[in-house]
Copies of this chain bind each other. A is one copy, B any other.
C-alpha cells in the first residue's frame, strides 16, 4: 500500500518537477504550453495564485511523483467553475498517481464550493487522460477540431470536459 502525500508545491519542489514538466511539454502530446520555456518561466506558469493552488504528490521518501493545479477557470462571473492541470513523472506512470491527483482536485473544488470543473483542452489522443477523467465522471462537452499539433499524430482535437459538482 502506497503512502502518498499531497501538499502545496513549494519553491524547493521545483527542481524535482522541472525535468519531467519540460520533458512532458516538449514531447508534444499533451499540453499547449509555450515551447522552449526556461525553468523560471515554467514555474511561473505552473504556480497558481490564490484562490487557486498548485500541489505535489510525493512518496514516503519525499520523491515528487506528480503535480496538479486547481482553481477558477475564469474570473468574475465565471469564477464558480474550476479547472485543473496535471503532470505525472514518466517513471511513476501507471501507478495511480494521476487518479490520486484527479480525485484530490475534484474533492478540493467540492470543498471550496465550486459548482463544476471544466477542462479546456484535453488532447483527444491522450487516451489515458480521457479515460481517467471519464472514469471520474467528466463528459466531453465538445471537441475543437485540429486544435493541437501533436508531434506523433499531427493536428488532433482538444476536448472540453466537464464535471458538475454538488
Chain A residues with a Cβ under 8 A of chain B: 25, 28, 31-35, 73-81, 115-116, 118, 120-121, 140-151, 155, 158, 160, 162, 164
Interface of A: prevailing SS: strand
**3 nearest A-B residue pairs (beta carbon):** A142-B142, A32-B78, A32-B74
Q: A35-B77, A121-B78, A160-B160 are in contact. Are A144 and B141 (CB under 8 A)?
A: yes
On chain B, the residues within 8 Å of A164 by CB distance are 145-146
Asked whether, in the complex, the Cβ of A147 is within 8 Å of the Cβ of B81, the reply is yes
Chain B residues in 8 Å Cβ range of A118: 144, 147
A143–B146 contact, CB under 8 A?
no
Q: Is the CB of B76 within 8 A of A34?
A: yes
Find out whether the CB atom of B142 lies under 8 angstroms from the CB atom of A75: no
Q: How far is the CB of A49 from chain B (nearest CB, A)?
A: 13
Complex CA gap A120/B147 in Å reads 12
